[in-house]
Amino acid sequence: MAPITAPESTDPHFHVFDTAIGACGLAWTDKGLFQVQLPEASEVATELRLGRIAGAAWSDTLPKNIAECEARMRAYFEGDPATFTDIDLDMSRVNAFSARIYTALRKVGWGKTTSYGALARQIGDPHAARAIGAAMGKNPWPLVVPCHRVLAASGKIGGFSAYGGRATKRKMLQLEQSDADGAAPKLPGLFD
């Protein structure tokens, strides 16, 4: 059943929904989306983690922007190309440096990848690759801000902070037909 859409709210809210890989969640304010939660080990764990991080109340009534994001996330995990560049983000919880990184990264589309160093050069700070790696680990919007598309300079998969780690990142890249270090051994992830 599709969620009911409602006007924007000044209070933070969150919502958990099923996808092909498990329960995902979204948290938002009137400024936009401020947290995306990819599946944890169980739906309960996903809901608890998102509720704790967001400090928000559960809602089944979603603003149009958030309902659209949910629909696109469902489609993405079914293997359909999905873009999130027009989803409004509430960046009030991130510093200016991270906001620049996340804004630049949103331009890396479906099936494309970049590296930490390339992203550093793109934002005009060529020595910031390590800082960019740290920002990727703290990305509040995995998938919407596609940190899974950022690879190590060698083309290796690199890290991923979502449940399932690198195996989850690899599967997301494979959904986009953009595999990194594809010869690596199979590890369990969200899709297994």
We report the CATH number of the domain holding residue 170 as: 1.10.10.10
Same domain, 100 and 35: no
The residue range of the domain holding 144 is 96-175
C-beta of residue 28 within 8 angstroms of C-beta of residue 57: no
Same domain, 62 and 105: no
Same domain, 20 and 49: yes
| Distance in angstroms (rounded) separating the CA atoms of residues 137 and 152 | 13
pTM, whole model, 2 decimals? 0.85
Same domain, 106 and 161: yes
Same domain, 12 and 71: yes
| Distance in angstroms (rounded) separating the CA atoms of residues 173 and 167 | 10
In 3D, which of 64, 86, 70, 91 has the Cα closest to residue 19?
70
Q: How confident is the model at residue 3, as a pLDDT? A: 57
For residue 170, what are its two tokens?
A: 């690899």
Residue 27 identity = A
Per residue in 60-70, pLDDT tens? 899 999 999 99
Q: How confident is the model at residue 73, as a pLDDT? A: 97
Q: How confident is the model at residue 10, as a pLDDT? A: 63
Question: Would you please indicate which residues are annotated as catalytic (active-site) residues?
Answer: 147
| Distance in angstroms (rounded) separating the CA atoms of residues 129 and 119 | 8
**Average pLDDT rounded to a whole number, residues 36-48:** 89
Tally the domains of the chain.
2
Angle formed at CA 183 by CA 179 and CA 184, multiple of 5 degrees: 95
Per residue in 6-22, pLDDT tens? 444 468 899 999 999 99
